[in-house]
Amino acid sequence: MAATVSDNLLDWYDAHARELPWRAKPGTPSPEPYRVWLSEVMLQQTTVAAVKPYFEAFLARWPNVEALASAPEEDVMAAWAGLGYYSRARNLVKCARAVAELGHFPETESDLRRLPGLGAYTAAAIAAIAFEKRAVVVDANVERVVARLFAIEEPLPAARKAIRIAADAITPDMRAGDFAQAMMDLGATICTARDPRCLLCPLSNACKARAEGDPGRLPVKAPKKAKPLRQGQTYWMENDGAVWLVRRPGTGILGGMRALPDDGWNARSSGSMQAPSPGIWESAGVVRHTFTHFSLELTVLTSLGASQPDGQGEWWPIDSLDEAGLPTLFAKAARLAQSG
Ligand code: SF4
């Protein structure tokens, strides 16, 4: 089965590979590791459509890993704004600096794993796609395809071990990078979460879930725990065409990002509801946002003619707020404050 699966999948990929800015065409020399690494870090928890403009902007500004390594961290954080999961941007800079110091990207999974912030998935993807090393690359798309192909009934996340073993069994020794990308493409375009298009699938003859009927029910997912709800306030302090912005502490949620001041809410507790300075505050509404471990209801309070609060921050011209690199949560809060 293994050879048939990989041969059929690679034939399908040769004809149907998605064209993506970080990709090389099937069967052509591998793309530069910098492009593979940058795209894979950006693609974690984010869609291809969302990543494309960021990838192109990053490449235009920092065309190689050395350029990114010498960029100030705050510039990279600001360019990342809107992509979410901001610890990835901080790790991106750390990793670029480590690679620049080494003088090249390591080629094996185990050496790649030693780079700061580089997890098992990303290491496997770079080893396979950039260096043609045989590696078992399992992202959420691949997880879904493999769970269906082998009719793995165990719920996720416990099923990950079985999925990995099964994925290993069908991974070929040659064209490892193309195989990994073919699996990703199959999951993204044919073996989709809700409505698998089995009639178009190159693996349909080998697929156990299809033979059993109703493949869309796999993979089974363990019920999610309800996320705790936290409440907080954020403050739009406007004075003479400018708004007061702060830089968030380096660690913690949205760490190191430029933001509106807030009342100290975090994953474990709601905020203090203490404004940064006395004044007349008006509510502009509530922004709702879901983080990995909690949901947040953030009330946006505005004050016009506000005086400068204690502590570090800067008056930022409202006309060029787009250039401040606010993360999505605070960009939404800013839009709400300005709509009043
Ligand atoms: S046959 Fe259907 S369920 Fe099986 S891998 Fe292909 S698209 Fe997915």
**Residue pLDDT, tens place only, 30-51:** 999 999 999 999 998 889 999 9
What distance in angstroms lies between residue 2's CA and the mean position of ligand 1's atoms? 15
pLDDT at 84: 84
Please say if the pLDDT value at position 224 is more than 90: no
SS (H, E, C) 32-75: CHHHHHHHHHHHCCCCHHHHHHHHHHHHHHCCCHHHHHCCCHHH
Give the percent of the chain with pLDDT over 70: 99
The confidence score (pLDDT) of residue 245 equals: 97
User: Tell me, what's the pLDDT at 167?
Assistant: 97
Ligand 1 proximity of 201 Cβ (cutoff 6 Å): yes
Task: Judge whether residue 266 has pLDDT over 80.
Answer: yes
How many other C-beta atoms are found inside a 10 Å radius of the C-beta of residue 172? 16
pLDDT at 340 over 90: no
Residue 200 to residue 168: CA distance in whole angstroms:
24
Question: Where does residue 167 rank: exposed (0-12), middle (13-18), buried (19+ CB within 10 A)?
Answer: buried
Q: Is 134 in the pocket of ligand 1 (CB under 6 A)?
A: no
Find the 148 Cα to ligand 1 centroid distance in Å.
6
As a whole number of angstroms, the distance between CA 201 and CA 208 comes to: 13
Average pLDDT of the chain is 94
Tokens of 335: 């839009």
CATH number of the 2-217 domain: 1.10.340.30
For residue 2, is pLDDT > 80? no
Instruction: Report the nearest-CA residue for atom 2 of ligand 1.
Output: 198
- Ligand 1 atom nearest to CA at 197: 7
Query: With 70 as the cut, is the pLDDT of residue 165 above it?
Result: yes
Phi, psi of 213 (to 5 degrees): 90, 150
Q: Which atom of ligand 1 is nearest to the CA of 216?
A: 3
pLDDT of residue 60: 97
**Higher local confidence (pLDDT), 224 or 104:** 104
Residue 250's pLDDT is 83
Share of the chain above pLDDT 90, in %: 86
Give the span between the Cα atoms of 269 and 265, in whole angstroms.
6
Instruction: Report the b/e string of 217-229 with b at 16+ CB within 10 A.
Output: ebbeeeeeeeeee
**Per-residue confidence at 256, pLDDT binned at 50, 70, 90?**
confident
**In this predicted structure, what is the pLDDT of residue 278?**
85
Which residue has a Cα nearest atom 8 of ligand 1? 191
Q: Give 1 or 261, the one with higher predicted confidence.
A: 261
Question: Which residue of 152, 198, 205 sits with most ligand 1 atoms within 8 Å of its CB, as the best mutation to test the pocket?
Answer: 198
Higher per-residue confidence, 190 vs 278: 190
Segment 93-149, tens digit of pLDDT: 999 999 999 999 999 999 999 999 999 999 999 999 999 999 999 999 999 999 999
* Amino acid symbol at 307: S
Strand partners, 236: 302
* Beta strand pairing call for 295-304 and 282-290: antiparallel
Classify residue 276 as exposed, middle or buried by CB count within 10 Å of its CB (0-12, 13-18, 19+): buried
Please report the pLDDT score of residue 312 as a whole number: 92
* pLDDT at site 279: 84
Q: How many CB atoms lie within 10 A of CB 332?
A: 17
The reported pLDDT for the residue numbered 268 is 94
Q: How far apart are CA 276 and CA 250, in angstroms?
A: 20
User: Is residue 243 classed as helix, strand or coil in its secondary structure?
Assistant: strand
As a whole number of angstroms, the distance between CA 277 and CA 257 comes to: 21
Other C-beta atoms lying within 10 Å of the C-beta of residue 72: 9
Assign 1 a pLDDT band (cuts: 50, 70, 90): low
pLDDT score at 179: 96
Q: Domain residue spans in the chain?
A: 2-217, 229-339
Question: Of 252 and 294, which is predicted with more confidence?
Answer: 294
Q: What is the dihedral of CA 260, 263, 266, 269, to 10 degrees?
A: -160
Q: What is the CATH number assigned to the segment(s) 229-339?
A: 3.90.79.10
Q: Is the CB of 203 under 6 A from ligand 1?
A: yes
Cβ atoms within 10 Å, residue 128: 25
Q: Answer yes or no: are the C-beta atoms of 53 and 80 closer than 8 Å.
A: no
Mean pLDDT throughout 73-94?
Answer: 90
